[in-house]
Amino acid sequence: MKIEIVEVGPRDGFQSVKKFIPTELKKEIIDGLVQSGIKNIQVTSFVKAEAIPQLQDAAEIAKYSIEKYPDLVINALTANGRGIEYAIKAGVSEINYAISLSEIHNMLNTKRTHDQSFHELETMVDANQNVNFVLDIGTAFGYYNEQISLEDVMGFIKRGYDIGIRAFDICDSIGIADPGMVKKYITCILKEYKDCQFDVHIHDTRNMGIINTYTAIECGITRIQTTLGGLGGCPFAHGATGNTCTEDMVFLLHRMGYETGINFDKLLEISKYQFSRIKGNYSGHHVCINLDNVKKQ
């Protein structure tokens, strides 16, 4: 069975790094990811530079990636109509649009209510039929003391489905999920929406990123989001650490007999290179397995 890795390190991982990463270094890391065999990369996010200064070079990174790798899926994250416009102008044809189930988080992250976010998305979907939109459903498993139910998640999916969305990303934005929740949610979602693509995006705050992601795979998920070295974080998810680590996840999948199309040795090389260049400047949680020990196995 083939599992597709969507590498979101150049966006979610890099945005957790406090010191600006030189644009050329970002390009080198993206090159390394491609050379390792990764075919789907979220290279950046189109947001205001003052909101996330790290991503101020979004247009240049997107243009570079699209022109150099025309056969790959190069996508970007957006949170409003203006971001979508900039992404399209840069040539991005797969756009992740973020709306959080927690209206508190959605207001903090996008300065919009649910209705405003969905209205912008619907307008953009209608106007850009050649773009593949993916609805990122943030805080799908909860947001601190704010309770979110499976019914809430299903309602969000239906709302996106009704405006034409056929690809969704179920996000555990603060790392609060457990395998039982994941199994319950994913089983129900896949049963109800057989004509849609679903990703999972799991943060590793409580060291359950791998088991929760693997549980989703056992339920039928075939596309997962991870980050090189487990970097990641959100300025509005206090205490949440990084994402499920790409190296760890690929190691597990290969041991369990899954295909990823990724060269593990090359993936380790680019991970080592990344941390040798930006070590000490990131706030995300690096959960990568011991690279030297794995190399010897």
Active site residues: 234
C-beta of residue 247 within 8 angstroms of C-beta of residue 231? no
Question: 3-state DSSP call for residue 206?
Answer: coil
The structure tokens listed for 147 are 């309770």
Contacts of range 123-130, beta carbons closer than 8 Å, 24 or more positions apart: 123/81, 124/81, 124/84, 124/85, 124/97, 125/163, 125/164, 125/165, 126/164, 128/84, 128/88, 130/93
Strands, DSSP E only, in the chain?
4-7, 40-45, 73-78, 94-100, 132-138, 167-172, 197-202, 223-226
Sorted by sequence, the CB contacts under 8 Å of residue 275 that are 6+ apart come out as: 229, 286
Task: Report the distance separating Cα 170 and Cα 42, nearest Å.
Answer: 16
Q: DSSP string of 165-184? A: --EEEEEETTS---HHHHHH
| Separation between Cα atoms, residue 229 and residue 13, nearest integer Å | 8
Closest C-alpha to 111, from 80, 156, 136: 80
